[in-house]
A and B are shown apart, each in its own frame.
Chain A
């Protein structure tokens, strides 16, 4: 996976979102495009960090917007919109996970596994966010993605996950500790590889 796009001020993208949401409720034809454009990249990254395939993440993104559209009246003007959006996205992800599990339970295992496509050797690049957080437990990954990709504050993450600020902080701390260990292990492997 090629990495290298800097996350430039996710929060700045969301400044006007609250106002667009109110206009969306009033059926302003410009509002859906503005909201979809502003929030979809972060939402897709949220789903990509939680599910394996890009296709699934696209489906979840589409389902999230459909649900947002159906329940847009439940947003109270003046309240922060990001916890509202991410609470819905989180629910869609949980439903998607359950659905995938149901489908997987009905699938018949093949006798021989198909060969996986061989990835071409890539020059070593520094690990990107998605690669790193993939190694974290679900709850820590969810919190870290909301904080770093979604641009939510601790309070907003607590609202979106029906949790407390203390619990969110604890998960984030543990996630950073784990990430440090992973980065260090990776650096040591690189050093060993270089010395051989």
Chain B
């Protein structure tokens, strides 16, 4: 056993578990390892919270102690998000009509709706993880919304053709006017489902939820709009999702600012009470 093995053991070892005899032998004989192990387990005694601070924290908590219901289990939240997504898209398409399916090739249908389904699943799963602090993320929440928009953009650019289009902006505006309300309708139940969680990074969760709501509009437009020009789909269909993510991001920043101010004012109140 050498010093490198000791480093590996220190990293892997479960906290507070005893050293093996082999490790102890090495540490006893190696001055460098002995110094390291000793320093890692030695703390300055002055660094303990003062009883006054602990009392102040406790009294602050006790003055507002009441039972709370834990947030719903992960699977339930995930199912709720997907159910809302599917319901709003279904109602939207029922009202508008699914004219796009008839004009798209089977390849276009399967790829674009496959990508949309995967992106929706990943996004919903990430939002569910972000609801509770200390959850592990397979894909970093900062990267996921950007990655999804890029993936959808690439899929659209590859599957559909770029052509000159008359009344480009008028047609785009018509689709945006149809897609945005659907996204806004979906955003309300999404907020109801998520409002009790997502406290660590509201801006990131806001962006992800906004994008999810925007994808409701994008999916409905993909089923409804028979205009298969790539430029039109990128600007007006995917635009609904981008707009949703942007609005969600800024809403999250506002919520974060409000929460932080509430915590600071609670701390000020606690300080004032202590001074009194």
Show the binding face of A for B, using Cβ within 8 Å: 1-7, 9-12, 25-27, 29, 32-33, 36-37, 40-41, 44-45, 48, 54, 58-59, 61-63, 65-67, 69-77, 79-80, 82-88, 91, 95, 126-132, 147-149, 151-156, 158-160, 162, 164, 169, 172-173, 176-177, 179-180, 183-184, 187
Contact = CB atoms under 8 A, between A and B. Distances in A.
A41 B64 CA distance: 23
Categorize the interface residue count of chain B.
35 or more
A49 B121 CA distance: 39
Contact of B32 (A62, A86, A184): A184
Contacts, number: 215
The 5 nearest A-B residue pairs measured at CB:
A83-B134, A87-B133, A9-B16, A87-B134, A11-B16
A151 B13 CA distance: 11
B71 interface: yes
A66 B65 contact: no
Interface string B33-65: 001101111111111111001101110111011
B70 A77 contact: yes
Contacts of A76: 70-71, 73-74, 132
B12 interface: yes
Given A74-B131, A162-B140, A172 B47 contact: no
B40 A148 contact: yes
Contact of B10 (A29, A59, A176): A176
At the interface, is chain A mostly helix, strand, loop or mixed?
Answer: helix
26 contacts: A5-B43, A11-B14, A12-B16, A25-B70, A29-B62, A33-B58, A36-B54, A58-B49, A63-B267, A65-B61, A69-B64, A73-B69, A74-B71, A74-B196, A76-B73, A76-B132, A91-B133, A91-B201, A126-B39, A148-B41, A151-B16, A158-B136, A160-B134, A169-B12, A179-B39, A179-B40
B3 A5 contact: no
B16 A73 contact: no
Nearest to B48: A41
A159 B31 CA distance: 35
Contact of A29 (B41, B65, B259): B65
